[in-house]
Structure 1
């Protein structure tokens, strides 16, 4: 080999080595991103799909298509992991989102930082795809046997068969009704809300933790929010259905995670809440509540004193007779 040939060979070596190494690094990077997105899909369907879509429009929360380009990545990770802390700290953007979406705070679902990054990777990958047809409500008048009023609309879901290895479709994406006996009914929904009719899986009645104007008075708990306008607050039938079936909020999840609502029960509750939405929310009358509790305590004390006065001699006579023996 001549000197000039050797020099030309030596000049080509870096390129010959760099090209395969560079290609390998790019391939590994793409593979890593693909694996992360796959993990993110499962986490997204479990913890995000109840309130969000990717290109399907707003539900309870915003449409997440292209969110990676709209927000800072570190902010998105922290918001996904600890939204409650960011709201408590007064984060400006977090407060803006809270106000924009009917003052419904995003719950802390225990998402780890790694999960948050994989979810964002999945959203980024999904945002680049062509949007698929989303659920479109087809009005189907369903009436109460007594009132004859229209109650709800039943959504028709367009879906594709799952391919091998694909994550199973989330349960709240299925059609709400499952049999001819499951027609949404206002009276059944009201009975389920009040606990006059039990949930099939043994879940707690709504009235235990919530109140609404339809019941009135002291009819309901104060642990959860007023549900008078919950139907409109969560975007109607589709949004409320996803919340009731997935129970994304920590308090609800603790109650219903092992005792989930049936599709038909959700449909009946939707029928009930679709009617109460026309009423105005009434704030809790704290003074009346305190007076009521005070009167109850006072009544117990008075009853205890009366019982003691009426039967004070009976036990005394028995004791004296026993001691005398």
Structure 2
């Protein structure tokens, strides 16, 4: 009993000296840790919102309206496994190539147009997923939901102006390169445009008019983002291009198959080669005509000098 009494007294003295301070420190640390976690989560949500607006909002709504080209993502974190969602956002082409059933269904549902790889880093993908998990009105959502794109352009587009913008006859107001640098539309140009990007003759069929309206303001494809980041299309330019694509889509040419694409690339290549060879021969002929007297005169003076 005496031992227990001494032990109790020692414990009381220790508690009076150190215990209360230690408890306060633990409570303070816990509060600070919870606060830092909440701040980090909120920051991740905010970063995810920014990334979503830059890379996803042109094709996806998040308010349940389904007003965009791609599927609405309001409840996507409930409908899809989290790991699947992370892998899909990071590298959709790998999921498609692997034969994933959900990926195949999505491609088929949206006119055979796969979701592009946006070139996101793992931490960026995580931020987008966290934002999707919290964007539907949960506790730490920090900003209003993204508005769905308008269903119709506010400016009436002119297909003729759109064709000139596409071909570069009229330059874009903010200095972006002409679409024809990388793309083609069948009625445009002797060489039918570039072959780096896809043929856009029937882009309306692939993306639908609403989907294309969502794409044109931000051009959220990895290759195009870096080019047009500081050269975004004006609202009028978007309307004119949309009108041009709608007109091109009415052409009788069917959607281009892989064989036709290869044939088109070959045809354009041969045209380029023939024009190059023809231009070289023309320059050579002009050179001969221009300097024929000078060369003849020099040779004649040398010959006459040797004779004398």
**1:273-322: CA deviation from partner (whole Å, max 9, x where unpaired):** 22322233453434543543453355356557756876678437537858
Whose helix fraction is larger, Structure 1's or Structure 2's?
Answer: 2
- Distance apart, 1:232 and its partner CA: 3.6
* Partner residue, 1:184: 157
Query: Rg: which structure is higher?
Result: 2
Answer yes or no: is 1:81 the counterpart of 2:87: no
Against the structure 1 CA distance between its residues 172 and 315, is the aligned structure 2 distance closer, same or farther, given a 3 Å change threshold? farther
Please give the alpha-carbon distance, in whole angstroms, between the structure 2 residues aligned to 1:214 and 1:304. 30
1: distance between equivalents of 2:249 and 2:87?
A: 34
Asked if 1:247 corresponds to 2:255, the answer is no
What is the TM-score of this pair, normalised by structure 1?
Answer: 0.65
Aligned match of 1:296 in 263, 275, 291? 275
- Judging changes above 3 Å, is the alpha-carbon distance between structure 1 residues 39 and 322 closer, same or farther for their aligned structure 2 residues? same
Q: Give the aligned partner of residue 48 of structure 2.
A: 40
Q: Does 1:61 align with 2:34?
A: no
SS state at 2:171 partner: coil
Root mean square deviation, CA, Å: 4.2
- In structure 2, the CA distance between the partners of 1:235 and 1:257, relative to structure 1 (3 Å rule), is same
1:2-151 matches, cutoff 5 A? 32-54=40-62, 55-57=64-66, 59-84=68-93, 86=94, 89-92=97-100, 93-127=102-136
Higher relative contact order at CA 8 Å, sep ≥6: structure 1 or structure 2?
Answer: 2
Structure 1: gaps (5+ residues): 7-16, 130-164
Q: Distance in 2 between matches of 1:255 and 1:31?
A: 34
Give the number of aligned pairs.
271
Are residues 321 and 104 of structure 1, via their aligned partners in 2, closer, same or farther at CA, if it must alter by over 3 Å?
farther
Cα distance in 2 for partners of 1:258, 1:210 equals 20
**Unpaired runs of 5+ in structure 2?**
9-22
